[in-house]
Chains A and B, each alone.
Chain A
Amino acid sequence: MVIRHIRRIKNKFASIVRSIFRKKKDVKIGLYGPVNSGKTTLANKICMDWLGEELGKASSIPHETREVMVKEKVTVRDNGKSLTFNLVDTPGIATKIDFEDFLKFGMKRKDAKQRAKEATRGVIESIKWLDSMDMVLVVLDSTKSPINQVNITILGNLDARNIPVLIVSNKIDVKRSDTTRIRNAFHGYDVIGVSAKNGDMMNEMYKMLLKKI
């Protein structure tokens, strides 16, 4: 409880400082997370809701997004409040990329190797973009255990940079989804459970997003 309050005060202060400089540049909201957590599906849902067009291709094959994709001037509105930002969809962060994993999806050896190569570049790019974010939605797959090094490293880096974070517990439409497990694992963070695929709880997510920045 105390940690949560300290984090809120710290983020609020950082947000005030950022807002002073924001006028000069565009606000960037990033989607970060491990591979296959649904970042692009969420980015597409946000873009469809507010711009009427998608951002990129989502797929069940890991590392579908291998380059940072930006959709400019997305305006989210709720109850008279609005926020215009550039939405940045980043490649999933991983500590290992094995081209043989792609072969299981029926990919040819040459293509799998190429995909792995591009995926490694994507991870580096994602990490480099962290510094330019004004806020980050950390997208986690709520059907999987949240305690892993990638999630800890992402959140640790955002904390170190005082970047406001909203954890999005995605895939709540799946039966084995467990948002409570994510809340328990990451005390002090705001967590919202959504289904980017079905659009469940998206309005609640937008409300939280507007409150945080």
Chain B
Amino acid sequence: MDLRIKLIPYEKIKSKDYADVLKDLEEGTILLIDAKLTAAEEAALIEETMKIISDKFSGIELSSMELAHLKEAKGIDKFKNMLVEKILGKKRGLTIIGPAKIVRKIEKNPEDLLLYM
């Protein structure tokens, strides 16, 4: 099977529109999201995934990271970042969600995410 990677907007997760996300994961697509998910969104996604686990779909590997330079920002830079994120309505970063049958492990490093397949 060809490896499929799809970039989806964060708004899909934010609006709790999980149907397409779960369908893609069930079909073996790795999803990239243009933001860091909140803890509540991660938990909601785990919950939704658990509902569709079957013999063929065993769940997901998930990792979400905030951009390192934003995380380490201090003082006025930190304030500026907070303001930008407030306006954007999302935490700047990256999330990778992969079907567990394809993505064995995601290693989270301070500045990158490494997928083992």
Task: With both chains docked as a complex, state the minimum distance between the C-beta of A148 and any C-beta of chain B, in angstroms.
Answer: 8
Number of A-B contacts (CB under 8 A): 69
**Chain A residues near B106 (CB-CB < 8 A):** 149
Interface string of A107-140 (1 = CB under 8 A from B): 0000001001100110110011010000000000
A96 touches B42 (CB 8 A): no
Interface string of B21-56 (1 = CB under 8 A from A): 000000000000000001110110011011101010
Q: Give complex CA distance A123, B51 in Å.
A: 10
Q: Give complex CA distance A59, B30 in Å.
A: 34
A96 touches B43 (CB 8 A): no
Q: Given A153-B43, A156-B39, A157-B43, A99 and B62 touching (CB < 8 A)?
A: no
- Tally B residues with Cβ within 8 Å of A: 22
Not counting A95-B61, A99-B58, a sample of 4 additional A-B residue pairs whose C-beta atoms are within 8 angstroms of each other reads A96-B100, A124-B47, A153-B39, A153-B46
Q: Please list 30 pairs of residues, one from A and one from B, whose beta carbons are closer than 8 Å in the complex, sorted by A's number.
A: A95-B59, A95-B61, A96-B58, A96-B61, A97-B50, A97-B53, A97-B58, A97-B59, A99-B55, A113-B55, A120-B50, A121-B50, A123-B47, A123-B50, A124-B50, A124-B51, A127-B43, A127-B47, A149-B42, A149-B108, A152-B42, A153-B42, A153-B43, A155-B39, A156-B39, A156-B42, A157-B40, A157-B43, A160-B38, A160-B40
The residues of A with any CB-CB pair to B shorter than 8 Å are 93-100, 113, 116-117, 120-121, 123-124, 127-128, 130, 147-149, 152-153, 155-157, 159-160
Which 4 interchain pairs have the tightest Cβ spacing?
A: A156-B39, A96-B59, A96-B100, A98-B58
